[in-house]
Amino acid sequence: MNSKEVISNDHLWQNSIVQPLLTDLYQITMAYAYWKAGKRNENAVFDLFFRKNPFNGEFTIFAGLEECLKFLRNFSFSKSDIEYLKETLPGHIEDDFFDYLENLTADEIRLYAIPEGTVVFPRVPLIRVEGPLIVAQLLETTLLTLVNYASLLATNAARYRLAAGSKIMLLEFGLRRAQGPDGGLSASKYAYLGGFDGSSNVLAGKLFNIPVKGTHAHSFVSSFSDSDDLSIRTLEPRDGIILESKNFVDDCIAWRTKVAKTLAVLPGQANDGELAAFASFAIAFPTSFSALVDTYDVIRSGLINFCAVSLALNDYGYRSWGIRLDSGDLGYLSRISREMFITIGKAYDQPWFSKLKIIASSSINEEIIYSLNEQGHQIDCFAVGTHLVTCQRQPALGGVYKLVEVNGEPKIKLSEDVEKVTIPGKKQVYRLYGSDASRSDVVGHPLVDLLQKEDEAPPEVGQRVLCRHAFLESKRAYVIPTRVEPLLRLYWSKCGITEELPRLSEIRDRVNHNIATLRPDHKRYLNPTPYKVAVSDSLYGYLHEIWLKSAPIGELS
């Protein structure tokens, strides 16, 4: 690593499969065609961006930048890579090309990017890559695979956070449903970045310093038949607690009779094996006992057994954490659970009991959370799996990587679909903020992201700026910004990584801050207001001049 590179030791881990061969074959074949055409020294500029926000929303979270920088730092073809390419590519390819690949690095690349964790919008370049054409082209697929899923997942997570609100705990439980182990690790990392509080994924916890959480499965409960299954029946009380007997299991059984009477439930309906399982788990984890209460029947068994074990734990000087609901009518069951906890707390003068946590983990998605909010649920934590990590509502972001300049000459891609026309040339992006008369402690909400030619003077605070729609001539407006934020920063050059990379928790804070600055109508679940992305008057003229020069003139006959 270059001694001038700015990177902390906390970010050294990298997935070993992220390397130059993690690409599409056509990138290699294009590289050879460029090389054969003598274009190895030509300088190119590529923009990485997306065209539409995911999940029918109007914002996206940019994620994956750190992994892109690690990829650049380690970019090189190994000898085994070269041997594989020699076997795979057509036999007529010259040996000198393979020698060229073997000596290729990303040292001549310059990468500009928006800071990871920033809220971003369509057509805004998230990453700008400058450097030798062949190298910049070879980066395309890998950069896209590192950014597309990361940004999609982080956005999905941020939407769950908006749905749940700031006070509800969110846990990612999706490893078993993710698209393979790499997808599972990425999901855990970017769910945390997007606003989740922890994960069940232990390896993600180790690699990314993410808090790990979990209870137990139904199989643990159903593995017990009754208390005779328990070979260990005692629990050592906490310091200062003196008990005549330390037979914790017998104490749980005694408490179950009292709880059933207090709640006016027949004690014989509660499953004996479930009570044994809960008692066993409490003996193993007395300081953080939580239980999955829907293996048999939540109201007639699970809650009764949980309350009995929790009251027995309390006698020994410990307090339970809470329950998990994994099926059924979550709104109704959470309210019943809370009512039971309040009743037990009052009956036995244990006010803490009413505040026990309730986790819900039954195929949670955005719609379910909003519905539960309307039902007045009593859930403290949502554990989200399948719908989060697979992004079932929209499985791909659709980011693209387009050539916008070669040797200082602008390049444009035309299409009958105007949305697919690219904006040529090297650009800078500025976020323009407006005032917020309702709050004196903030500058205000962002009004528009403005794309300018790189050589244009940046917008100034208090000065009127003409902002134009890139393709519709009549759509234009003046903005007088109260704050101007340049978004693209240099993150990679010859000296390596040029900015100290923030910790994952710091990126998570940036997401939270960026989301908070957006107007509520941009964030709402139904029919959100589109955020404006504009071009300067100069870039508008530049774009349309190049468009007219590049488009063929039709002929009618």
9-158+394-550 folds as nicotinate phosphoribosyltransferase (3.20.140)
Asked if residue 171 lies in contact with residue 197, where contact means CB atoms within 8 angstroms, the answer is yes
Mean pLDDT within 302-309 = 98
Q: Are 50 and 400 in contact (CB under 8 A)?
A: yes
Q: How confident is the model at residue 12 (pLDDT cuts 50, 70, 90)?
A: low
Lookup: tokens for 219: 């199989």
Per-residue model confidence (pLDDT) at position 422: 96
- pLDDT for res 239: 86
* Mean pLDDT value of segment 287-313: 97
Per DSSP, helices labelled H in 404-536 are: 504-517, 520-523
Q: How confident is the model at residue 4 (pLDDT cuts 50, 70, 90)?
A: low
Q: Which amino acid is at 429?
A: V
| 450 and 430 Cβ atoms separated by less than 8 Å | yes
Distance CA 468, CA 540 (A): 7
* Close Cβ partners of 421 (under 8 Å, ≥ 6 residues apart): 412, 413, 414, 415, 471, 547
For residue 58, the model assigns a pLDDT of 98
Q: 386 in helix, strand or coil? A: helix
Mean pLDDT on 280-301: 97
CATH number of 215-379: 3.20.20
Residue 207: C-alpha distances to residues 60, 188, 509 (Å):
25, 11, 19
Task: Specify the pLDDT at position 9.
Answer: 42
* Res. 438: pLDDT tops 60: no
Q: What residues form DSSP beta bridges with 104?
A: none
Calpha distance 312→318 (Å, rounded): 9
Q: Where are the domains of the chain?
A: 9-158+394-550, 215-379
pLDDT band per the 50, 70, 90 thresholds, residue 23: very high
| Residue 312 identity | A
Q: How far is CA 193 from the centre of its chain?
A: 5
Quote the tokens at residue 255. Answer: 């408490």
Q: Please, which pLDDT band fits residue 385 given cuts at 50, 70 and 90?
A: very high
pLDDT in tens, 143-184: 999 999 999 999 999 999 999 999 999 999 999 999 999 999
pLDDT tier at 203, thresholds 50, 70, 90:
very high
Contact by Cβ (8 Å): 484, 471: no
Q: Say what the pLDDT of residue 10 is.
A: 46
Chain Cα centroid distance, residue 316: 41
Rounded CA separation 426/423 (Å): 9
pLDDT in tens, 224-253: 999 999 999 999 999 888 888 789 999 999
Please check the confidence at residue 437 and state whether its pLDDT lies above 50: no
Burial class from Cβ neighbours inside 10 Å (0-12, 13-18, 19+) for residue 536 reads buried
> Distance between CA atoms of 109 and 43, rounded to whole angstroms?
10
Q: How confident is the model over 69-96, as pLDDT tens digits? A: 999 999 999 999 999 999 999 999 999 9
Inform me whether the pLDDT recorded for 439 exceeds 60: no
Q: What is the mean pLDDT of the chain?
A: 94
* Percent residues over pLDDT 70 in the chain: 96
Average pLDDT over residues 292-317: 97
Q: What is the DSSP letter of 29?
A: H
pTM of the model: 0.94
Query: Does 367 score more than 90 pLDDT?
Result: yes
Which of 36-50, 112-126, 262-276, 341-355 shows the lowest per-residue confidence on average (mean pLDDT)?
262-276
